[in-house]
């Protein structure tokens, strides 16, 4: 029984899958080459055929074992790759979760810091605004207090001036009354002296002549007295001097009362209106009997 060339070529060129754990590929190829050479050189008897058959079976068994181990190795490699992939995915997920947690933590911290800064800034702004408002209110109170104090000083000064003027007016009125009393007394004396003269025809015997009324015609009376004194070349008598002095004092009193009234009017323009005292008038001499 011989072996054809095709079988020999398949034996020489046989290929097997490779694996990490298995037979050495180079050694297997050398064995197959020797086997093909032996078969080609004439192993035709039964002993050689049995030997070849056993060798082929042994090679087949080894080859099957190699294939099984290769498949197992491939399965293990696939399992390890899947495990590595799962671990990588899990690590990626864990890293992503960790990164997300860190990002959330950082964002929360940043938000808290921003809120704290905003709150602090708002408190500072409120404090500054309160301080400015307090200063403005204090300035306003000080200004009002100064204005009120100045107004009180003005009122007190006006009141004091008015009281002083009222005292002056009262004194002038008293002096005027004294002058009027003196003038009235002098008028009585003059009337008694004039009663000795003959009254004019058709006149009232109880009415003083106009030229003898010191209150109605003071200037004329004084002028007549002076002219008479000059004509007689002698000084005025005591009564004439008294009449002239009384008239002068009465005129001065009226001028002082008028000046005091004007000062009171000026003071009233700054203070509440007060009743202006009436300007006193001179009383005319009373009628006397002869």
- Please check whether residue 190 is in contact with residue 209, taking contact to mean a CB–CB distance below 8 angstroms: no
**Residue 20 vs residue 76, higher pLDDT:** 76
- CA separation for the pair 127, 232 (Å, rounded): 101
Burial of 242 (0-12, 13-18, 19+ CB in 10 A): middle
What is the per-residue burial (b if ≥16 Cβ within 10 Å, else e) of 254-265? bebbeebeebbe
What is the per-residue burial (b if ≥16 Cβ within 10 Å, else e) of 110-122? eeeeeeeeeeeee
Can you give the pLDDT at residue 236?
44
Task: Give me the mean pLDDT over the 133-151 stretch.
Answer: 92
Placement of tokens 């009141």 in the chain:
159
- CA separation for the pair 149, 161 (Å, rounded): 18
Can you give the pLDDT at residue 290?
36
Alpha carbon separation from 125 to 113, 117, 131 (Å, rounded) = 18, 12, 10
At residue 15 the predicted structure's pLDDT band, cuts being 50, 70 and 90, is: low
Task: Give me the mean pLDDT over the 129-148 stretch.
Answer: 92
Mind listing the pLDDT tens digit for each residue in 32-55?
777 777 666 655 555 566 776 777
Helix/strand number for the chain, H first, E second: 5, 0
At residue 149 the predicted structure's pLDDT band, cuts being 50, 70 and 90, is: very high
Mind listing the pLDDT tens digit for each residue in 155-198?
999 999 999 999 999 999 999 888 888 888 888 888 887 776 54
Predicted confidence (pLDDT) at residue 226 exceeds the cutoff of 60: no
Task: Give me the mean pLDDT over the 231-243 stretch.
Answer: 47
**Residue 21 vs residue 40, higher pLDDT:** 40
Q: Give the mean pLDDT of the chain.
A: 71
Placement of tokens 């007394």 in the chain:
185
Placement of tokens 């080894």 in the chain:
62
What is the per-residue burial (b if ≥16 Cβ within 10 Å, else e) of 125-143? eeeeeeeeeeeeeeeeeee
Can you give the pLDDT at residue 150?
92
- Please check whether residue 159 is in contact with residue 274, taking contact to mean a CB–CB distance below 8 angstroms: no
Which of 178, 210, 211, 206 minimizes the C-alpha distance to 192? 206
């Amino acid at each position: 029984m011989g072996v054809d060339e095709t079988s020999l070529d398949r034996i020489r060129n046989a290929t097997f899958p490779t694996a990490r754990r298995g037979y050495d590929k180079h050694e297997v190829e050398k064995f197959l080459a020797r086997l093909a050479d032996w078969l080609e050189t004439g192993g035709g008897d039964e002993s050689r055929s049995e030997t070849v058959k056993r060798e082929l079976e042994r090679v087949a068994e080894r080859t099957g074992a190699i294939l099984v181990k290769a498949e197992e190795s491939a399965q293990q490699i696939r399992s390890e790759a899947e495990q590595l992939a799962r671990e990588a995915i899990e690590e990626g997920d864990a890293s992503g979760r960790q990164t997300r947690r860190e990002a959330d933590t950082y964002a929360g911290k940043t938000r808290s810091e921003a809120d704290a800064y905003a709150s602090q800034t708002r408190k500072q702004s409120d404090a500054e605004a309160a301080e400015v408002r307090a200063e403005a209110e204090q300035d306003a109170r000080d200004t009002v207090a100064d204005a009120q104090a100045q107004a009180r000083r003005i009122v007190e000064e006006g009141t004091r001036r008015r009281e002083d003027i009222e005292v002056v007016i009262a004194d002038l009125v008293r002096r005027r009354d004294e002058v009027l009393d003196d003038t009235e007394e002098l008028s009585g004396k003059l009337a008694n002296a004039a009663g000795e003269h003959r009254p004019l025809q058709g006149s009232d015997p109880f009415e003083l002549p106009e030229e003898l009324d010191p209150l109605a015609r003071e200037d004329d009376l004084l002028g007549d007295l002076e002219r008479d004194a000059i004509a007689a070349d002698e000084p005025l008598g005591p009564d004439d001097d008294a009449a002239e002095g009384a008239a002068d004092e009465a005129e001065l009193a009226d001028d002082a009362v008028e000046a005091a009234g004007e000062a009171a009017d000026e003071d009233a323009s700054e203070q509440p209106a007060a009743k202006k005292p009436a300007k006193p008038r001179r009383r005319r001499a009373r009628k006397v009997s002869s």
